[in-house]
Structure 1
Amino acid sequence: MFSLTGTEISHFLLAMGCLLAMAHLLGYLVERIFIPRVIGEVMAGLVLGPTILGHFFPDTFEWMFLGFPGEDKLFGLLYQFGLLMLMFCSGLKFQTHFNREDAKITSALVIGSTIPAFIVGWFAADLFNISPYLGTANNPLAIKIVIAISIAITSIPVISKIFNDLGIMETRFAKIVIACAGIHDILLWVALGFATAIASQGSVYTAGTAFKSIGMSFGFIFGTLFFGYILFKRLTIVRQNLLFRSSNLGYFLFIMFILASLAGNLHVETIFGALLAGIVAKLALPKAVSERLEQGVSNISFSWFIPIYFATVGLQLDLIRHFNPLFFFGYLLFATLTQTIAVYITSRIIKQDPFTSFNLGLAINDRGGPGIVLSSVAYTAGIINQEFFAILVMLALVTSWLPGTWLRIVVNKGWRLMPGDENVIPKLRNDDDKIASFKFK
């Protein structure tokens, strides 16, 4: 019980070690050519997964990643841990202090990046021939919601990691983009909850279904923020809190796991439990404590769990057998232009200069992790089939590539991201970067 044989442990550690090493290696190499590190980490899964290794050497792939019963579940568990840690880290980076001007910009961008893009995506579903991409639930309304979400969604985890990798997390630009992404993604996850609810009921859906699904999601979000803030504020740094005193990091991980579990039991996506745990910790704790927590979580997350998460995403894709490149190119062009133009116009309306507006448009166009999670949830719920699953994952990856590469060019050229960031000095991500910056003899 609760054990693996020595052979199984050795086999799993070999497979995981190879995947982790490949993720770090390709992540490092693509960074050298202005491509976000996360793209290289996903490429590791493509190289070692069904797309390349599994296609040319299927027996080797089967032996490495499906070598004993339950090995796939172990990778699935690491995948979920990586996603939770990524969302927790993103919550800890959530900006909480805004002046009036920044709050105005963020509010306008939330509206401008959510409503127009969602509406365009909703009506565009009628223009595309979506019938070949319907999943087992065979629910056109649910897939229309998923398409609208895929157009409007922004990635908190990936855009945070891009900012983190570039050393610009403390900039005004990063603060506004992350806050905007966080707020409007919460709204879109509520819509996804409704889509999965009606998909589970077949073609039968009522106003009661919508009210229950949306009400449960909003209730969990606001309840967690309200009560979580009070409890964190009053119960964390006290002498009687033995768990916090015994292990600060262990205490916060416990809270994160409990909130994620509670979200899952309430049929709200578990990742929002982790995200809200990070946000509440950021809001309620003294700055010194939250910074120490963020550093401790980031050290292990960005070296192990998060690269494994992105590599496992690539491991699930089979681009040889289940991918339509022509449809993908059209969908990518439509989604990218819709979101970027919506944000650009909104930014110009609130008197931002053209270069700032373009930067914001590309950054908010990053779909990354939430785009991948959207595809996974929709596929698991039977809303979409495997071909559209691959389309949405690749959409998330390419739209992470574009802003990551552009922002790296902006930072390296010393250009201003937006007014207020004129004298930005990028900060290295962690000690690994400092070590890597040394000249080897």
Structure 2
Amino acid sequence: MSLSPIDITIFLLSISVILFFARGFGELLRYFKQPIVIGEIIAGIILGPTVLGTLFPGTFNSLFNQSEVVVIALNGITLLGVVMLLLISGIEIDLSLVLRQSKAAAIISLLGIIFPFGIGFFSAYLFPQYLGLTNYNLRLVYALFVGTALSITALPVVARTLMDLQIFKSEIGYLIMAAAMFNDLIGWIIFSIVLGMIGQNPEHSISLSSLIIVILGFILFVLLFVRKFINFAIPFLQKRFTFPGGVLNFIFVLGFLGAAFTEYIGVHAIFGVFIVGIAIGDSVHLKEETREIIYQFVTNIFAPLFFVSIGLRINFIENFDLNLVIIFLVLAFAGKVIGCSIGAYLGGLNKNDSLVIGFGMNSRGAMEIVLGTLAYQYGLINEKVFVAIVIMALITSISSAPIMSYFLKKAKTKLRFDMLLKNETIIFTKATSKSEIINELCTNVANFYKLNFNTVYNEVIKREAVISTGLEKHLAIPHARIDIKEPIVSVAIQPKGIEWNSLDNLPAKFIVLLLTPVDKPEIQLKLLSDIAKKFNDVRIIEDIISSKDSREFISKVKQLY
């Protein structure tokens, strides 16, 4: 079977139309501060049987359905698009960040998988008739699929949302990213097993237990050995081959080989390329410029072809089931928000920040749509379930940013001392003088927050010269207003005490450096009042300064709130 000149013309015309509409609607959604991927899916719905196929069926069939070879070619290029999309999703995962997760991030990751997976699995297994299952022989596999689809967080959507809200590099931002990365990794492992249970490659099928062993062996081989090989090969290629062509060729060859292997053993190609992507992204030698080239190439050309193709497959109006959509939305919000919020709260965050993390992790987007597409292609779900999953993914992605923004604004109105504490800015000092300890505190915040030391130190000393900041009961709060956007705190603990010319003549053992924005004097007053009220008892301060490390210190402070 070969392409005739008219087939080639239709194929190229179809690609052009898809890319044009994808970019147009993507930019329109970006204007309204929504993820571009949502615009690309809407473009597909408009070009597909839902709109174009209903209003102009002849045009729709001529472009996308008339020629069998053109349909095959379009399916091939959209498969390439989703494989490349999972490659860059893997590259975006910072393996070191996942491995060194803090206690809070680990708990968020764990409960962010257990809760939604459990709710989805048991709902689908116990009440399959309400979740659209028609083939009861696939009851277990379907329940596993629903649990997995509700568990995975869309990493690209999350990262974009955090950047838009300007909290990507904040403590909450790092917690969400680390937890989302771990969610993606575990979710894809589970889904790869689900695909194996469906048995889509009978010529090379193996038993489920053997499949699990092969999958785990593949992961270990890639992350232990291939990762080291990549780390050695990339600087060699960058030095000996043309840049960036040599490295790009190497990355895509490895990715496609990983995809081919997992497709061969009965698991979809996307799992293999995803794991290889993680190994590639972990290389310290991979230049940011190379990452950006791959990202732009895939997200602007190949990924849009896949997301638009979603709308080309199904009539969304004919297959819209309101009850099914509501059920999936309730399960999605309840499982993810509750699970991640409880995880964040158990990890030591306050209720408001826990809800920020819960809704931040609730973004589904591209990854759920990829899962739904594969499940639909393999006959595991029908059209109505697929439409419900796509709508669920879109609504959770669209709602994430405004809900997070609401709770972030709420947190700012309830600004408290304990919210500003970080392990890295707590010092257990042996300093013997006021000037020495102020120097240590200023050095600490200057290094951690990338501030100018002289500016910070001079402003603090200038304020200290006006009147001593030593209060009562071993508490001192040196402070200043400088050119920053958010308040900063650093704490020094000196159990023996330092002379600070305090109001009650007691030495300062608990010293808090408070820096606030120069244009927001009300924040300084509010935080000074908050600290003074919470630490107005000698017994409280003695208990606080007896902490063995920064984690214990923060835990004790949070208990006061």
**What is the TM-score of this pair, normalised by structure 2?**
0.66
Relative to structure 1, the CA distance from residue 30 to residue 99 in structure 2 (aligned partners, 3 Å threshold; closer, same or farther) is: closer
Indicate the larger mover: 125-134 or 396-405. Answer: 125-134
Aligned partners of 2:48 and 2:314 also within 8 Å: yes
Distance 2:310 2:166 in 1: 25
Residue 124 of structure 1 aligns with an amino acid whose one-letter code is S
| 1:359-404 deviations in Å (ceiling 9; x for gaps) | 2212211222221222223223332222222222222222222224
Tell me, yes or no, if structure 1 residue 212 matches structure 2 residue 198: no
Distance 2:125 2:237 in 1: 60
Paired residue type of 1:282 = G
Question: What do residues 281-322 of structure 1 show as CA deviations (whole Å, max 9, x unaligned)?
Answer: 222232xx3312201102212221122221112222311222
Q: Which of 346, 350, 353 is equivalent to 1:349?
A: 346
Q: Which residue of 2 aligns with 1:309?
A: 306
Matched with 1:383 is 380
Which deviates further from its counterpart, 390-399 or 158-167?
158-167
SS at match of 1:284: coil
Separation (CA, whole Å) in 1 of partners of 2:299 and 2:199: 35
2: CA distance, partners of 1:359 / 1:9: 50
Distance 2:359 2:98 in 1: 24
Tell me the SS of whatever aligns to 1:253. helix
Matching residue within 206, 222, 225 for 1:224: 222
Contact 1:281–1:290 at 8 Å: present in 2 too? no
- Matched residue, 1:9: 8
Question: Equivalent residues in 2 for 1:53-72 (5 A)?
Answer: 53-72=52-71
Question: CA contact under 8 A between 2:167 and 2:173: conserved in structure 1?
Answer: yes
Q: Give the 3-state SS of the residue equivalent to 2:236 in structure 1.
A: coil
Query: What RMSD over aligned residues (CA atoms) do the two structures have, in Å?
Result: 3.3
Counterpart CA distance in 2 for 1:17 and 1:411 is 42
Distance 1:234 1:299, change over 3 A: same
Q: Which of the two has higher C-alpha Rg? A: 2
Distance (Å, rounded) in 2 between the aligned partners of 1:401 and 1:132: 23
Q: Could you tell me which residue of structure 2 aligns to residue 427 of structure 1?
A: none
Name the counterpart of 1:115: 114
- The 2-side partners of 1:36 and 1:114 are apart by 24
Unaligned runs of at least 5 residues, structure 2: 201-205, 414-418, 423-448, 450-483, 487-561
1:93-242 aligned within 5 A: 93-98=92-97, 102-130=101-129, 133-134=132-133, 138-160=137-159, 162=161, 173-200=172-199, 209-238=207-236
Counterparts in 2 of 1:132 and 1:95: CA distance versus 1, 3 Å? closer
| 2:81 match | 82
Q: Are residues 240 and 105 of structure 1, via their aligned partners in 2, closer, same or farther at CA, if it must alter by over 3 Å? A: closer
Amino acid at match of 1:151: L
The answer to which of 182-191 and 220-229 deviates more is 182-191
> 294-303 or 97-106, which moves further after superposition?
97-106
Q: How does 1:247-286 map to 2 (within 5 A)?
A: 247-286=246-285
Q: Which AA in structure 2 matches 1:149?
A: T
Q: Cα 1:357–1:368, aligned 2, differ >3 Å: closer, same or farther?
A: same
Q: Does 1:326 align with 2:323?
A: yes
Whose relative contact order is higher, 1 or 2, with alpha carbons under 8 Å and at least 6 apart? 1
Structure 1 gaps of 5+ residues are 202-207, 425-441
Q: Residue type of the partner of 1:277?
A: V
Aligned positions, number: 414
CA distance in 1, matches of 2:159, 2:125: 33
Of Structure 1 and Structure 2, which has the larger fraction of its residues in strand? 2
- Residue 349 of structure 1 deviates from its aligned partner by 1.3
Cα–Cα, structure 1 residues 300 and 195, in superposed 2: closer, same or farther, change >3 Å? closer
Change (3 A) 1:276 1:175: farther
Post-superposition offset of 1:135: 5.1
What is aligned with 1:439? none
Comparing 155-164 with 262-271, which one deviates more in the overlay? 155-164
Q: Quick one: percent identity of the two aligned structures?
A: 26
